[in-house]
Structure formats: structure tokens, C-alpha cells
């Protein structure tokens, strides 16, 4: 089943249910902010004080950073403009009683052309069921090529950040953006301070484990990943986040970032996806 619903302020989202899960996806940003499988702990973290308002990014779930990841390109908003753009719901396909597919689309208009002067079509496809799969399909509708960086900025629930371990990035080089230095990971990652690292040449599944469970990320069309947690000081300054929220989540972002930027030629397309398995 599926239904378009609204908060009291008119903010629209799609609610989807089948025999194994329930999900909520905002039309703004094609942003999935809830995914709960029956008799299991929630996978995605959502700040209880996050604002659901037009023009403001949601804190939690899976924000979509596109056509830029980060804030290096000063010609557009940080993490691009898709997070606060209104997508069109194209279709909802109930494939069977355990799998539902949702497709949303963003196309260029006068407002996007002022920021990024290209004709494009961005489809976000959610496959909701025993696993959660998100696919970004960038189609170049222009007569000239363009470059994109992008990320699925996934916030994952954890029992406590002190118990977290991330595997699959051993021996991978990374940029530590907090210190602006490059290094190589030698062991499984644990978190005891603010972390913001962009890993390159990622070619294996990434596994996030805490005291209660493990979550596996299976990416395609991506060779970079970001590990992020703001910790105490920065987290307390961020909008839509309580001061102790840093203990409840870890972001592992499937991306095309920095050296993994992609050029999409005229009339061609690029697909980036992640399947999240518990």
C-alpha cells in the first residue's frame, strides 16, 4: 500500500507499507527518512528535532547530495540543490507482497539552470523490502557533457557510538578533511572523536557493526565512501540535532566524491546505488 500524506504545515511525503516493512519518503529531496522492517530495530536514524519544512534539509535518513558533494563548488549550495528540490512521484510498483519499488524524478527548470546550466533528469529509485536499495540515475539531456559528485548521505542507527566498528575499508587511502591530510586505514574503524574521512578506491562491501547487529552496504557505480560523525562540539552547534545525538548514529555515505567524480557525456547516464542488508 502507498499514500501521499502531509504534515500540518503541508510538507508532503509518501508512506509505503508491505508485508515486511514500512517507509516514509519526502517528496522534497526524494529523501527517505524512515525505513522499518517488522520485528527489527530501525535502520535509519532520524533526529527527533529535525524540521520538516520546505527549503530546509531533513536531519537524518538518507539525504541525497547532488550534483555536488561537499561545499567546494561555491556556485551552488553545500551538497548541491537536490536536498531541497521538489521531486515528482513517477510510479509505485508493488512487485509482490514483500517488495515495493518507488521512482521519483527531478528535472531541470529555470531555477536549477540559474545554479547549474545543464539539462538533466535525476531519477531516484527505492526498492523496499527485505533489504533497502537506493539508486541514483543521472541522465544528461544536454548537448554537452557535465561532471557530477554525489552521495547517499546515510545516517545509520547505532546502539552507542562507542561500540561501533566499521570493516571493509582496511588498506584504503583516505583524506582526513578535518586535518586536510591523506593517510591509509590499517584496521577496522572505531569512533572516539569527530570523524570526517573520504575513502577512495573502495571495491568491497562495507560492514557496520555495533553491540546489537551488523549492517552491510553493497555499493555499485561508486569507488568512494565517507565516514562521518560530528561528535560533541560540532554536533551541539548543528541545526536539527540534540547535543547528545552523536552517540546514536554513524554516517556511511556511498559516493562519487573527489577523485571519484564522474563525467556524464551528452545523452548518456550514470547509476550510483547502495543496497543495505541487515
Residues annotated as catalytic are: 153, 253
Q: In this structure, what DSSP letter does residue 183 have?
A: E
Contact 112, 122 (CB under 8 A): no
Q: How far apart are CA 215 and CA 265, in angstroms?
A: 35
Q: In this structure, what DSSP letter does residue 62 have?
A: B
Q: How far apart are CA 153 and CA 69, in angstroms?
A: 9
Distance of alpha carbon 123 from the chain centroid: 14
Q: 172-207 burial by CB neighbour count: b if 16+ within 10 A, else e? A: bebbeeeeeeeeebeeebebeeebbbbbbebeeebb
Contact 184, 232 (CB under 8 A): no
The set of cell numbers assigned to 112 is 536549477
Residue whose C-alpha cell reads 541514483 in the numeric block: 136
- The set of residues, in sequence order, having a beta carbon less than 8 Å from that of 71 and lying 6+ positions away, is 78, 79
DSSP H helices, the chain, are 110-115, 231-237
Q: How far apart are CA 138 and CA 254, in angstroms?
A: 15
Supply φ then ψ for residue 159, to 5 degrees: -70, -40
Amino acid at each position: 500500500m502507498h499514500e501521499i500524506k502531509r504534515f500540518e504545515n503541508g510538507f508532503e511525503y509518501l508512506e509505503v507499507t508491505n508485508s515486511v516493512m514500512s517507509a516514509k519518503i519526502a517528496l522534497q529531496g526524494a529523501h527517505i527518512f524512515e525505513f522499518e522492517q517488522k520485528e527489527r530495530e530501525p535502520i535509519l536514524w532520524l533526529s527527533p528535532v529535525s524540521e520538516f519544512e520546505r527549503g530546509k534539509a531533513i536531519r537524518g535518513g538518507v539525504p541525497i547530495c547532488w550534483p555536488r558533494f561537499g561545499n567546494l563548488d561555491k556556485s551552488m549550495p553545500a551538497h548541491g540543490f537536490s536536498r531541497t528540490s521538489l521531486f515528482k512521484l513517477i510510479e509505485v510498483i508493488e512487485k509482490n507482497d514483500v517488495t515495493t519499488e518507488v521512482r521519483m524524478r527531478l528535472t531541470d527548470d529555470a531555477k536549477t539552470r540559474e545554479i547549474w546550466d545543464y539539462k538533466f533528469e535525476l531519477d531516484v529509485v527505492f526498492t523496499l523490502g527485505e533489504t533497502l536499495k537506493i539508486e541514483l540515475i543521472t541522465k544528461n539531456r544536454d548537448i554537452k557533457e557535465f561532471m557530477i559528485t554525489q552521495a547517499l548521505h546515510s545516517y545509520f542507527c547505532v546502539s552507542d557510538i562507542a561500540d561501533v566498528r566499521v570493516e571493509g575499508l582496511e588498506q584504503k587511502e583516505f583524506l582526513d578533511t578535518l586535518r586536510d591530510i591523506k593517510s591509509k586505514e590499517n584496521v577496522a574503524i572505531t569512533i572516539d572523536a569527530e570523524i570526517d574521512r573520504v575513502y577512495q578506491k573502495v571495491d568491497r562491501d562495507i560492514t557496520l557493526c555495533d553491540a546489537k547487529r551488523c549492517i552491510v552496504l553493497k555499493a555499485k557505480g561508486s569507488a568512494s565512501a565517507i565516514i562521518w560523525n560530528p561528535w560533541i562540539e560540532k554536533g551541539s552547534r548543528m541545526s536539527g540535532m540534540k547535543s547528545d545525538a552523536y552517540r546514536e548514529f554513524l554516517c556511511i555515505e556511498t559516493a562519487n566524491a573527489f577523485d571519484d567524480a564522474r563525467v556524464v557525456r551528452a545523452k548518456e547516464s550514470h547509476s550510483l546505488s547502495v543496497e543495505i542488508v541487515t
